[in-house]
């Protein structure tokens, strides 16, 4: 009972904060879960990595699964689940004296003579270090600093300097693909309402194709769309020069010419939402939405490191030619 009360934060300051850090993530901490790690606990399976999750018959993938360089949401909680499974299945090995199970967090370092070199005690649960984001940092005077700060040696860039294309816009953006039937129907309704003819769409398509062919990177946007703003921020963060084509404030505020371009883009790419991003004349999708051919979209290309290569190849044809020579 005492232990359960402590886990609830009663007379255990810092416990709830540390529990929440395990679920919400920590940009100041390195990754904790390897790409091939899997945790199984009853009908729950997490992995490989922090993306795929199975809960009985339900299967889904966490939207942060492709992000690197920091402790992702739920990652530390998953590591703790893995440790809990290990302890519970080998209880007698790990818990030699059950009466000590409600002891508070503490860390001690002794020398070869048993003298205390370092000690830290805390009244909370899970708070066994003064620096929980990097719990072994107290070892820096005694061992290699890099090992002390990141003993697992996993990616550790604080989420990277490039933090654009993440956050709560990401799941919302991925959900946009579910609205494709609505946007497709709406674009047809808008075309009828604005008397858009086939010739208007052909002309709009030609204009878009000309812009795409004349510029290494093109992003087609709505001025009021947070997804469009974030797509531009991702490109700017990557140091990319781009040509922006702004269709209007939003899809429901477009005039005849912009609506024709929107329909032309849908016909060209199969994507009904904006932004549209073209690199080297090829459509790579939107911010979070990919292409029908399986392209992952702008944010995912940034996470994988492919974005800079694509932009470099589009900006300098020699780069692409060199790649082709290597492949041959």
Mean pLDDT by 10 residues, the chain (328 residues): 59 83 93 93 92 94 89 93 87 77 78 93 85 94 94 84 78 78 83 89 96 96 95 91 94 90 93 93 93 88 89 72 38
pLDDT on residue 7: 60
pLDDT on residue 142: 92
- The 10s digit of each residue's pLDDT in 157-191 is 876 666 788 887 888 887 777 777 888 888 888 88
pLDDT on residue 26: 93
CATH number of the structural domain 169-327: 3.40.30.10
- The 10s digit of each residue's pLDDT in 270-310 is 988 999 999 999 999 999 988 888 888 999 999 888 998 99
CATH 3.40.30.10 residue ranges of the chain are 169-327
pLDDT on residue 192: 83
pLDDT on residue 106: 85
Which residue in the block uniquely carries the two structure tokens 């016909």?
Answer: 267
pLDDT on residue 102: 57
pLDDT on residue 322: 43
pLDDT on residue 105: 76
pLDDT on residue 320: 46
């Amino acid at each position: 009972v005492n232990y359960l009360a402590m886990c609830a934060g009663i007379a255990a300051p810092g416990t709830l904060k540390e529990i929440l850090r395990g679920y919400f993530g920590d940009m100041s901490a390195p990754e904790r879960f390897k790409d091939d790690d899997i945790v199984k606990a009853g009908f729950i399976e997490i992995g490989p990595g922090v993306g795929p999750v199975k809960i009985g018959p339900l299967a889904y993938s966490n939207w942060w699964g492709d992000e690197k360089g920091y402790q992702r949401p739920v990652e530390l909680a998953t590591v703790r689940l893995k440790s809990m499974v290990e302890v519970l299945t080998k209880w007698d090995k790990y818990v030699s004296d059950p009466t000590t199970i409600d002891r508070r967090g503490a860390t001690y370092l002794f020398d070869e003579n048993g003298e205390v070199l370092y000690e830290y005690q805390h009244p909370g649960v899970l708070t066994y270090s003064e620096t929980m984001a990097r719990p072994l940092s107290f070892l820096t005077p005694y061992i290699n600093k890099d090992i002390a700060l990141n003993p697992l040696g996993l990616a550790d860039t604080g989420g990277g300097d490039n933090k654009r294309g993440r956050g709560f816009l990401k799941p919302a953006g991925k959900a946009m693909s579910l609205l494709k039937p609505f946007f497709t129907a709406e674009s047809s309704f808008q075309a009828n309402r604005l008397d858009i003819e086939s010739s208007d769409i052909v002309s709009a398509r030609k204009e878009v194709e000309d812009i795409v062919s004349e510029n290494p990177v093109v992003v087609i946007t709505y001025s009021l769309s947070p997804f469009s703003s974030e797509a531009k921020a991702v490109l700017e963060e990557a140091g990319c020069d781009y040509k922006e084509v702004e269709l209007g404030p939003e899809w429901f505020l477009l005039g005849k010419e912009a609506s024709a371009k929107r329909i032309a883009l849908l016909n060209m790419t199969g994507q009904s939402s904006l932004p549209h991003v073209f690199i080297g004349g090829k459509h790579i999708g939107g911010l979070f939405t990919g292409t029908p051919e399986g392209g992952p979209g702008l944010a995912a290309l940034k996470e994988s490191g492919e974005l800079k290569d694509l932009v470099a190849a589009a900006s300098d044809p020699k780069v692409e030619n060199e790649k082709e020579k290597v492949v041959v």
